[in-house]
Amino acid sequence: MKWLEIAVTAPAELVEAVANIFNEIGSGGVVIEDPALIIDLVTNGTAETVAPALKLPQSGQSVVKGYFCCDCALADRLERLSHRLTDLPVFWQTREVREQDWATAWQKYYKPVRVGKNIVIKPSWEDYTARAGETVIELDPGMAFGCGTHATTAMCLTLLEELAPVHAVVYDVGTGSGILSVAAALLGARQVTAVDIDELAVRAARENAERNGVADRVTAVQGNLLDNLAGGQADLVVANIIADVIIRLAPDAAAALKPGGRLVASGIIKDRAEEVRRALDDAGLEPLKELTKGEWVAMVYRRVSAVKR
Ligand SMILES: C[S@@+](CC[C@H](N)C(=O)[O-])C[C@H]1O[C@@H](n2cnc3c(N)ncnc32)[C@H](O)[C@@H]1O
């Protein structure tokens, strides 16, 4: 089958917005090429990581690629895309590709990679022998976000490892591939609810929980943020989405936490970090820690006692 690849070159802060537009108009898959991440891997990569396969990007801009089936719906999709991109500072190019070329193209760059102190993310098709003390997450993200190498996911994993959620009740909001839910369960959480608005992500999260032998502790559900979740109050909420969504989520995240519970929030571009801090403060949460990587920020907050609603 023939597909049309549409490559949108965009500044880092618009990457999520462009990826969302692709998803909303029915893209069969989205690939994000983030130069900050590639530079980080080329600079800091070890023999185990993807670094040897990568080349430094020519420009500092990110490229978001969407794939569209060349069928009768294509013309309508292109018109909607053109309409949605028209006011954004981006440019786009198209080329025809065969299905095998894009569906698996990213796999050749995706090798076992170490995150935090002792977490290793192992693609399901790669071999890896775990060393003592390592937590190995076996993953096939499919078309869902979250293969572990994106700065925001990596920072969330690092923070999860530090928070050591032994016996914790956890909500993973915007679970994508389920990577953070699986990590929480492997790190000892007793009950994890993984929620995503995207049906494909929910399926990927369920499969990845099974693949890692933690399906008995990870429940993946389709839904909007923390709406209608039945898991009770949590020790830990993780949300790696985007600044606007974290701001919207703040009061509900605070209310979903037990006193003393922690929120790990990421997907926050540096320029929006202050707005997110304000929203989390306004929700009655107390800041504990921040990490930054490239353009991205991850934050840890704690619920002190009663929260404002
Ligand atoms: C950046 S990805 C994070 C994936 C994974 N948790 C990680 O850390 O790599 C954000 C995810 O949030 C999901 N999402 C966006 N808006 C949402 C909403 N309102 N409710 C639930 N999930 C949402 C997206 O579908 C996407 O899978």
CA 35 to chain CA centroid, Å, is 17
Burial class of residue 140, CB neighbours in 10 A (0-12, 13-18, 19+):
middle
266 lines ligand 1 (CB under 6 A): no
173 and 271 belong to one structural domain: yes
Q: What percent of the chain has pLDDT over 70?
A: 85
- The answer to whether 26 is annotated as binding is no
Q: Is 308 within a domain?
A: no
Burial class (CB in 10 A: 0-12, 13-18, 19+), 36: middle
How many domains does one find in the chain? Answer: 2
Structural domain range at position 218:
145-303
Do 98 and 11 share a structural domain? yes
Residue 68 lies in a domain: yes
In a domain, 116, yes or no: no
Are 150 and 195 part of one and the same domain?
yes
| Final residue of a structural domain among 108, 133, 154 | 108
This prediction has a pTM of 0.74
Establish if 131 belongs to a structural domain. no
155 and 74 in a single domain? The answer is no
Q: What is the 3-state secondary structure (H, E, C) of 230-271?
A: CCCCEEEEEEECCHHHHHHHHHHHHHHEEEEEEEEEEEEEHH
What is the distance in A from the centroid of ligand 1 to the CA of 203?
A: 13
φ/ψ of residue 143, rounded to 5: -95, 5
Ligand 1 atom 23: residue of nearest CA: 174
Q: Specify the CATH number for the domain of residue 266.
A: 3.40.50.150
Residue 124 belongs to some domain of the structure: no
Q: Whose CA is nearest to atom 12 of ligand 1?
A: 174
Per-residue pLDDT of the chain (309 residues; tens, 9 = 90+): 678 899 999 988 888 889 989 988 888 778 888 776 666 655 665 434 444 444 545 556 789 998 888 777 788 889 889 989 988 888 899 988 876 666 666 666 678 889 999 999 998 888 999 999 999 999 987 766 667 778 899 999 999 999 999 999 999 999 999 999 999 999 999 999 999 998 889 999 999 999 999 999 999 999 999 998 887 899 999 999 989 999 999 999 999 999 999 999 999 989 899 999 999 999 999 999 999 988 889 999 999 876 655
Q: Is residue 127 part of a domain?
A: no
- Whether residue 201 has its Cβ less than 6 Å from ligand 1: yes
Looking from the CA of residue 225, the nearest atom of ligand 1 is 20
35: CATH: 3.30.70.120
pLDDT at 309: 58
Token pair of 238 as six digits: 């993780």
Task: Decide: 145 in ligand 1 pocket, CB within 6 A.
Answer: yes
